[in-house]
């Protein structure tokens, strides 16, 4: 990503030895990306030595260990709230891997919930098996001894094949999730239309005001564009009032995106923000391409998903969105220029490789197929020792005993 490359470039400005080795082709970008996450002026030489010897994969593991030690030192006496996370990703076989990091007590609560769900599911299956067995015995007792008709076949079908199995952890976790979704979700997990309800006080003369000057029910005045953004995916309750502010009529909720349309919108847009270059899948809001206040309909053709940040840009930042002939969305910036979804790479001249090699010669660089090879001889790395060597210097550069650096 471009952000990561900018981070590496800035870090190299503080690490002259690693920068020089990278410029000579001795280190690959993968290695430089790893070491710039943890290297300092004091540890630069030790990390550079490890980078020349280790492979990129080995160096990643070493740097992760160094970063772990650094974080343990930084966290002494501080809150670890920012270290918690939940991630999920799709694997090549179509499955999904879910990973989480949390405090031990939070993890204990989650494990307890999973174990409780397992036990309840097992008790439920055991009760069902017991009921089936009792029903089977009742049918068997009611069947005449000489009758071997269809009732005997029913008894065989009703008899459980064996003892109920102990539910797996995945099944238990899914049961917890399904029970939560089926219950009343807290406000933080509701859609934008459920979280927001805008009450607008309108005098009879304001009903035909094309400027859409808005005063919210708490007296706050907002710009027309800010109101349009809020009204894209919120429940609107128009309240007609007289000159004294007394309500004359309160209409039903209008214009908020119905759940079926929102589901179709999420399916069509892939559940992510449609702004060029944005991959955000959180805090998404439905945007009316033609404002509802200007007569735009709440239908799929007039809607698209935008994250909260880009929704604000479209309404209040001067950006706009149109629909092309092929049905795709076209975004324009404040100057009216089209934003490309994938910038086209600049074409390379035919003699680009020769120019690159000549620039190396002019700079005095002797780069060949052996320059970037690591010096690893195939022996198993001692990662603990490598990490200890790098972290055995404190921020002042003073050598510290290995026991303090561990």
- Extract the runs of DSSP E, i.e. beta strands, from 203-269: 214-215, 221-222, 235-241, 247-250
Residues in the chain: 406
d(CA 247, CA 202): 9
How far, CA to CA in Å, does 228 sit from each of 136, 201, 286?
Answer: 65, 16, 12
pTM for this model (two decimals)? 0.40
- How far is C-alpha 282 from the geometric centre of its chain's CA atoms? 7
> DSSP of 209-222, one letter per residue?
-TT--EEBTTS-EE
Characterise 70 by phi-psi region: left (phi > 0), alpha (psi -120 to 50), beta (else): alpha
Q: What is the pLDDT along the chain (406 residues), one digit of tens a residue?
A: 678 999 999 999 999 999 999 988 899 999 999 999 999 988 999 999 999 999 999 999 999 999 888 877 877 766 666 678 899 888 888 888 999 988 777 888 888 889 888 888 888 888 888 888 888 777 666 655 554 444 434 433 444 445 667 778 888 888 888 888 777 655 444 445 544 555 555 554 544 444 555 555 445 555 666 666 666 655 555 544 445 554 433 333 445 777 777 877 888 888 888 998 888 887 788 888 887 667 777 778 888 999 888 988 888 888 989 888 887 889 999 888 888 876 666 788 888 888 888 888 888 888 877 888 888 888 888 888 888 888 886 554 444 434 333 3
Nearest alpha carbon to residue 44 among 27, 68, 58? 27
Cα angle 379, 383, 385; round to 5: 100
E strand or H helix at 155, and its extent? helix 150-158
């Amino acid at each position: 990503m471009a952000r990561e490359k900018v981070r590496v470039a800035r870090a190299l400005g503080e690490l002259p030895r690693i920068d020089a080795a990278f410029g000579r082709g001795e280190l690959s970008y993968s290695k430089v990306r790893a070491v710039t996450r943890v290297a300092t002026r004091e540890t630069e030489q030790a990390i550079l030595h490890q980078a020349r010897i280790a492979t990129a994969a080995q160096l990643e593991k070493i740097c992760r260990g160094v970063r772990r030690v650094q974080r343990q030192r930084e966290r002494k006496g501080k809150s670890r709230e920012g270290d918690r996370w939940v991630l999920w990703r799709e694997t090549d076989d179509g499955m999904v891997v879910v990973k989480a990091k949390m405090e031990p007590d939070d993890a204990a609560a989650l494990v307890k919930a999973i174990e409780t769900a397992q036990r309840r599911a097992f008790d439920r299956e055991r009760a069902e098996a017991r009921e089936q067995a009792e029903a089977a015995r009742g049918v068997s007792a009611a069947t005449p001894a000489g009758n071997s008709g269809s009732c005997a076949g029913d008894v065989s079908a009703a008899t459980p094949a064996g003892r109920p199995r102990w539910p797996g952890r995945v099944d238990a976790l899914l049961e917890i999730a399904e029970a939560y979704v089926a219950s009343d979700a807290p406000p933080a997990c509701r859609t934008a239309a459920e979280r927001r309800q805008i009450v607008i006080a309108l005098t009879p003369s304001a009903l035909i005001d094309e400027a859409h000057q808005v005063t919210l029910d708490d007296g706050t005045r907002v710009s027309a564009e800010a109101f349009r953004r809020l009204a894209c995916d919120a429940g609107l309750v128009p309240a007609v009032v007289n000159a004294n502010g007394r309500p004359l009529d309160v209409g039903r909720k209008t214009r908020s995106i119905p759940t079926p349309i929102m589901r179709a919108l999420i399916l069509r847009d892939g559940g992510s923000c449609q702004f060029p270059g944005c991959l955000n899948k959180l805090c998404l809001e439905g945007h009316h391409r033609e404002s509802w206040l200007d007569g735009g309909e709440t239908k799929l053709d007039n809607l698209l998903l935008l994250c909260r940040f880009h929704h604000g840009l479209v309404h209040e930042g001067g950006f706009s969105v149109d629909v092309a002939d092929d049905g795709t969305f076209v975004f324009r910036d404040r100057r009216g220029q089209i934003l490309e979804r994938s910038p086209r790479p600049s074409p390379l001249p035919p003699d680009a490789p020769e120019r690159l090699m000549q620039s190396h010669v002019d700079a005095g660089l002797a780069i060949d197929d052996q320059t970037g090879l690591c010096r690893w001889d195939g022996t198993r790395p001692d990662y603990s020792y490598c990490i200890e060597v790098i972290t055995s210097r404190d921020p002042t550069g003073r050598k510290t005993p290995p026991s303090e650096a561990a």
